[in-house]
């Protein structure tokens, strides 16, 4: 069982081609100890300081801060179409003292995750090609936003034709935690952890929505968890402002949200979607935390050409198997959806949608199958969890709970103890989750091929997930 997520929407990635995109220096490091650290570091040295361009009309670009003067790279975390992520610590043997990097919460940031954006084209020599819109969005939004449940941006360094976004490092993410619990012997995620995770996630989401930001790619892999049990929403590469947009949201990015977490209005081709799409994704994440597997695990129909976006029949069917297909009595604007006619074809391919399981039954069997049991020390979540789940997985985006309404749901108010959820999701836990796999292996750096296409706003984490398997062994 691979704990791999499908790539985020639109990420139509070919298999990694080894040679083409291998960073020159990483491929040919004749280090005496082909030490893993050396190689990870090499990725940061592949383009030594570009000589200032004399003809740059008076504005030769010279960075004010250098990544290698301030950070030591510890290893490689993941890669995607956007680039690669490395773990780093503050420079240790620096000639001049490296100033501490304060965190808004008052402490100093000890470890860093550095996201290195790939230049669009990669050849023998790097070229300035203009920064992708998704990188621009992420840089601008991360600089502007600050909340306890959002990943903290330490700084951005523009150097050697590359963009380095330096974030606080988070030891875990929800996908990793789900995976850990799904290993035999299968154990449920403790009810208190579940409730705290959901509360923090919704708090961060409320902050985003209040600031007119739709995340558009919420999924377990993008939700970080620190060793202190704090939830941190990450990856704002697809996020965008929705206050009076100059253009319909649809016209910018044709496809948003990883298929399993994609809201029905998106599947039905809605042009003017709202923050409610994030709440559907939160519902899917909630279900996945309960059952330890994606609730609607459909297969993505790939785009045949760039022009047309196919109807995601399979995914709609997976949702229908549990909820039944949407009906216009429950969702008045359903008939206005561009793909409404296609909806009729779902049941021909997937008769299961005619006899849906229903969320009640799904919930009961999930609780039973995952060994939630008061006797063995894993009491099930409060009964109100089912109601919250139903209101998040509501077809009609207008009826679906908003982040604010969800935070006022009885699930978070009265759990019998009367205590508000903790901001440490590990509070009272004995379980120790394995640390994030940080690879220092040479091949992982040089083979993680990144097709030279622009990120259509979406990461391809198919390359990101295989290391997860190794966590099991370690």
Partner 1 sequence: MAANYWDSTQAKHWTYTRPELTHLRNTLHPPTPNPTPTNKTPLPDPRHTSIYMQTHLTKLARRLNLRQQALATAQIYLKRFYLRVPLRKTNPYLLMATALYLSCKMEETPQHIRLMLGEAARQWPELGVTETSKIGECEFALISKLGSNLILHHPYRALSDLQALFGLTPEEVQLAQSIINDSYNTDLPLLYAPHIIAITAIFLAVVLRPASSTNLNANTNPGLQAFSTSTSNAFPASSASGTSTPSVTGTSAQNALAGFAGLRQAGPKLSKLVDWLAESQVAMEAIVDATQEMVSLYECWEGYSERSVKEGFTRFMREAGVK
Binding interface with partner 1 (CB under 8 A):
53, 56-59, 61, 63-64, 127-131, 133, 136, 139-141, 143-145, 156, 158, 161, 210-213, 240-241, 243-247, 252
Examine the residue annotation and report whether 217 is marked as an active-site residue of this protein. Answer: yes
Beta bridge mates, 87:
75, 113
Name every residue whose Cβ is closer than 8 Å to that of residue 473 and which is 6 or more positions away in sequence: none
Catalytic residue among 72, 173, 217, 235: 217
CA-to-CA dists, residue 307 to 8, 133, 253, 255, 340, angstroms: 19, 19, 12, 11, 20
DSSP structure class, residue 59: -
Q: Which is nearer to partner 1, 99 or 304 (CB)?
A: 99
Q: Which residue's CB is nearer to partner 1, number 58 or number 377?
A: 58
Sheet of 223-225: strand order equals: 172-173, 223-225, 231-233
- 93 Cβ partners below 8 Å, 6+ apart? none
Considering beta carbons, is residue 149 or 322 the nearer one to partner 1? 149
With contact defined as beta carbons under 8 Å apart, do 272 and 248 qualify?
yes
Q: What is the DSSP string of 290-313?
A: HHSS-SS---PPPPSSSSPPPP-H
Smallest distance from the beta carbon of 162 to partner 1, in angstroms?
Answer: 10
- Taking the CA of residue 82 as centre, how many other CA atoms within 13 Å lie in the half-sphere pointing to its CB? 30
- Residue 129 CB, nearest distance to partner 1 (Å)? 5
Q: Which is nearer to partner 1, 104 or 351 (CB)?
A: 104
SS3 263: coil
- DSSP per residue over 355-423, as a string? S---HHHHHHHHHHHTT-BTTTTBPPPPTHHHHHHHHHS-SSTTTSPPHHHHHTSHHHH-SSS-PPPPS
The DSSP code for 176 is H
CB of residue 441 to partner 1, shortest distance in Å: 32
Based on CB atoms, which residue is closest to partner 1, 216 or 219? 216
**Cβ 54 to partner 1, closest distance in Å?**
9
Nearest distance from C-beta of residue 67 to partner 1, angstroms? 13
Q: How far is the CB of 206 from partner 1 (least distance, A)?
A: 12
- Report whether 273 contacts 397 (CB < 8 A): yes
Looking at the Cβ atoms of 210 and 328, the one nearer to partner 1 is 210
83-90/111-117 β-pairing: antiparallel
**How far apart are CB 86 and partner 1 at their closest, in Å?**
20
Strand partners, 157: 164
Contact assessment for residue 311 and residue 317, using Cβ atoms and an 8 Å cutoff: no
As to burial, measured by CB atoms within 10 angstroms (0-12 exposed, 13-18 middle, 19+ buried), residue 95 is: exposed
With respect to partner 1, which residue has the nearer C-beta, 66 or 391? 66
Q: Which residue has the tokens 């919420």?
A: 218
Catalytically active residues are 217
């Amino acid at each position: 069982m691979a704990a791999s997520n499908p790539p985020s929407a639109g990420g139509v990635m070919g298999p990694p081609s080894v040679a083409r995109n291998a960073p020159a220096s990483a491929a040919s490091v004749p280090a005496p100890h082909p030490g893993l650290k050396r190689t990870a570091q090499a990725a940061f040295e592949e383009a030594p300081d570009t000589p200032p361009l004399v003809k740059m009309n008076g504005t030769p670009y010279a960075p004010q801060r250098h990544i290698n003067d301030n950070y030591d790279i510890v290893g490689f975390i993941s890669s995607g179409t956007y680039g690669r992520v490395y773990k780093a610590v503050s420079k240790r043997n620096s000639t001049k003292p490296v100033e501490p990097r304060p965190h808004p919460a008052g402490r100093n940031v000890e470890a860093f995750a550095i996201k290195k954006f790939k230049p669009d084209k990669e050849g023998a020599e790097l070229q300035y090609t203009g920064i992708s819109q998704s990188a621009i969005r992420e840089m601008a939004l991360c600089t502007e936003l600050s909340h306890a449940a959002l990943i903290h941006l330490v700084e951005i360094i523009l150097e050697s034709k590359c963009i380095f976004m330096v974030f606080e490092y988070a030891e875990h993410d929800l996908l990793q935690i789900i995976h850990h619990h799904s290993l035999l012997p299968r154990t449920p995620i403790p009810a208190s952890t579940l409730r705290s995770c959901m509360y923090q996630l919704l708090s961060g989401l409320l902050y985003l929505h209040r600031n007119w930001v739709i995340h558009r790619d919420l999924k377990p892999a993008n939700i970080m968890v620190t060793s202190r049990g704090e939830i941190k929403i990450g990856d704002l590469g697809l996020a965008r402002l929705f206050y009076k947009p100059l253009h319909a949201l649809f016209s910018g990015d044709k496809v948003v949200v990883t298929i399993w977490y994609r809201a029905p209005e998106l599947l039905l081709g809605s042009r003017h979607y709202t923050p409610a799409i994030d709440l559907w994704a939160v519902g899917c994440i909630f279900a996945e935390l309960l059952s330890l597997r994606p609730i609607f695990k459909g297969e993505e129909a790939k785009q045949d050409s760039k022009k047309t976006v196919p109807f995601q029949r399979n995914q709609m069917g997976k949702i229908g198997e549990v909820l039944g297909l949407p009906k216009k009595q429950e969702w008045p604007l359903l008939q206005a959806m561009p793909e409404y006619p296609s909806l009729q074809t779902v049941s021909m391919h997937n008769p299961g949608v005619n006899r849906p399981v229903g969320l009640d039954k799904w919930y009961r069997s999930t609780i039973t199958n995952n060994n939630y049991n008061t006797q063995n020390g894993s009491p099930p979540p409060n009964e109100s969890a089912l109601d919250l789940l139903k209101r998040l997985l509501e077809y009609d985006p207008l009826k679906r709970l908003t982040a604010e309404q969800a935070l006022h749901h009885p699930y978070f108010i009265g759990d019998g103890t009367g205590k508000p959820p903790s901001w440490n999701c590990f509070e009272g836990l004995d379980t120790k989750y394995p640390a994030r796999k940080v690879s220092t292996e040479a091949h992982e750096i040089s083979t993680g091929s990144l097709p030279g296409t622009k990120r259509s706003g979406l990461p391809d984490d198919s390359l990101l997930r295989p290391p997860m398997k190794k966590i099991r062994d370690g």
